[in-house]
Amino acid sequence: MKFEDADIWIDARDLCREIYEISEHLPFKNDFKFKEQIRSSASSIMDNVAEGFERGGNKEFIQFLYIAKGSCGETRSQLHRAYDVKYINHEKYKTLCEKCTLISKKISGFIHYLNNSPLKGIKYKPTN
C-alpha cells in the first residue's frame, strides 16, 4: 500500500485543492499572508499523513497523524475567519468545514486503530 491509496490522504488532497481554489479569487487572493497561511495549513494535513506513513512505524505515524489533525483544526479555524470577513460564502464555508471535521474524525479513528494494533509498522516486520 502507498500513502496515495489512503482515504485520509485522498480526502486531505481534495480539501487542499479546494482551499487553493477559493484562495485564488478576490478579495481572498490579495490577502497574501492569510492566503498563504490557510494554504499552508491545508497542505500540512496531506503532507503529514504522507510523511508519517513513509516513516514505517506506527509510533511515528501516530505522531504525524496528530500533527495532521492539528493542521485540520487550524484550517477549519481559518475557514471561520474567511467566512467572517466575507472571503467565502456560507455554502462554501459550511461544505469545507464539514470536510475538515470529517477528515479530523477519520484521523482520530485511524490513530485509535494504530494504537490498538498488534502490528508496529513495516520497519518492524521480521525478516526471514
Question: What digits encode the pLDDT tens for the residues 40-51?
Answer: 999 999 999 999
Peptide bond into 126 cis (omega under 30): no
> Which DSSP state fits 86?
T
CA–CA separation, 36 and 65 (whole Å): 22
CA–CA separation, 96 and 94 (whole Å): 6
Cell representation of residue 16:
487542499
Span 52-89, pLDDT tens digits: 999 888 899 999 999 999 999 999 999 999 999 999 99
CA–CA separation, 16 and 46 (whole Å): 8
Asked if the model's pLDDT at residue 122 lies above 70, the reply is no
pTM above 0.85, yes or no: yes
Spelled out in words, what is the top-level CATH class assigned to the domain 3-117?
A: mainly alpha
